Amino acid sequence: MTTMMRRLLGACALTALAMPAAAETLTIATVNNGDMIRMQQMAEDFTAKNPDITLEWVTLEENILRQRVTTDIATRGGQYDVVTIGNYEVPIWARQGWLMPLDQLPAEYDVEDLLPALRSALSQDGKLYAAPFYGESAMVMYRTDLAEKAGVTISETPTWAELLDAARKMTDKDNEIYGICLRGKAGWGENMAFLSAMANSYGAAWFDKDWKPLLTSDEWKAAATDYVTIMAEAGPPGASSNGFNENLALFQQGKCGIWIDATVAAGFVTNPKESTVADKVGFAQFPNKEGVDNHGNWLWSWNLAVPASTDAPEAAQTFIAWATSKDYTNLVAGKEGWLAAPPGTRASLYENAEYQAAAPFAKLTLQSMNAATPDRPSVQETPYTGGQFVAIPEFQAIGTAVGQQLSAAVAGQVPVDQALTMAQQIAEREMAKAGYPK
């Protein structure tokens, strides 16, 4: 090598060292709910602290998000750098090698502050593969003024019989007041999240210990019959198309007497900036059927994870550390108030006196999350875990297909027994195709 070439190479190396790090763009796939929309609004704080990182958002309805993210991550398409996924997907995808471990979180992130149930659900072989943006169980939210007007009392630990009776009495369809709003939109994470929890609370199970589907059992028939019947008698029109967002809007507009859904909704229905009934909401534990010691076992979290196919892993973890940190919680509280803080992820939030004072539902949320036993979803012996879902890869397809049958029953297109018979056949076929029992 000549002296001139050495000088040129040395000059190039010095120039490269002097240049700032190349800017990176993160494409973030997320769900179109209130907390995630707020995260986008707060993102100026992140970009101000990280000017070399640009954020691009892909915001989708829940069912579509799941389809697109699942396809991209399974094929290693590399379309997204950060994905919003549930605690259903995390352990399954981690075992497949589809996610990167979050091993670059700073010490001040304080992983130990994450609620133990979620930290466990998001870990594989001792490594954290996703960080929870918010966590939830499920609860009863109801209009205290409508309950009083109807002459009904809803206890802190209600039974289904108690709630269904209250829903009928609180219904005033002439004035567009519907006694109860429940998920009817088909999807394993939409109507089947609710119906799986409801069925659990009736003593049902998805499969017996030999993986035989149990969708035509007496317990499933009782749960599905009560669900379809009360939706017909006391639910809003078009209930088969309503998911979380649609029912949230109905409740905030004063159209629902009772709404049974995710605890995360409590912050929205009690926020006077968003809800017309904010000062008229009571809360109770997810109901059970009399004689069955199971209150649904709903445990869910929306989490941020890094696909193994990303070409910006460090920037992706930097963003996740910001979005799921204590500082982010304080940022939201400072701008929007403590009611808007993402719930259900950190012990420190529930030790915060300001949050406790602002959120009348805080104690019940934490109690519900701590009481969930996804390792024992049913009072029956089962070969699976999961609570309001079954933690096997095949459940996405099975749950959605079964959800379509029960959504059709809510719409009055098929009787409940026929819907469950079809659901049983679908589950048997898919499980046989997948080679169960394994």
Q: Taking Cα atoms as reference points, which of 432, 426, 382 lies closest to residue 209?
A: 382
Report residue 233 CA to chain centroid gap.
28
Q: Taking Cα atoms as reference points, which of 316, 318, 313, 355 lies closest to residue 333?
A: 355
Q: Taking Cα atoms as reference points, which of 159, 140, 198 lies closest to residue 289?
A: 159
Give the separation between CA 155 and CA 157, rounded to whole angstroms: 5
The sign of the torsion formed by the CA atoms of 61, 63, 64, 66 equals: positive
CB 135 within 8 A of CB 300: yes
> What integer pLDDT is reported at residue 22 of this predicted model?
62
pLDDT along the chain (438 residues), means of 10: 43 36 87 93 97 97 92 94 96 96 95 93 94 96 98 97 98 97 96 98 98 98 98 98 96 98 95 96 97 94 97 97 98 95 95 96 94 93 95 95 98 98 98 94
CATH code assigned to 14-136+300-358: 3.40.190.10
CATH code assigned to 138-298+367-433: 3.40.190.10
Q: Is the pTM higher than 0.85?
A: yes
Q: Parse the chain into domains and list their residue ranges.
A: 14-136+300-358, 138-298+367-433
> What integer pLDDT is reported at residue 7 of this predicted model?
42
* 145 membership: H or E segment, kind and range: helix 144-150
What is the residue type of 329? Answer: T
Report residue 191 CA to chain centroid gap.
12
CB 257 within 8 A of CB 142: yes
Q: Taking Cα atoms as reference points, which of 329, 360, 396, 385 lies closest to residue 117?
A: 385
What is the residue type of 350? Answer: Y
Domain 14-136+300-358 and domain 138-298+367-433, same fold? Reply is: yes
Q: Taking Cα atoms as reference points, which of 65, 55, 63, 46 lies closest to residue 25?
A: 55
Concatenated DSSP letters for 193-206?
Answer: HHHHHHHHHTT--S
> What integer pLDDT is reported at residue 17 of this predicted model?
32
Give phi and psi for 259, each to the nearest 5: -135, 125
45 burial type by CB count under 10 A (0-12 exposed, 13-18 middle, 19+ buried): middle
> What integer pLDDT is reported at residue 11 of this predicted model?
42
Residues facing residue 303 across a β-bridge: 85, 132
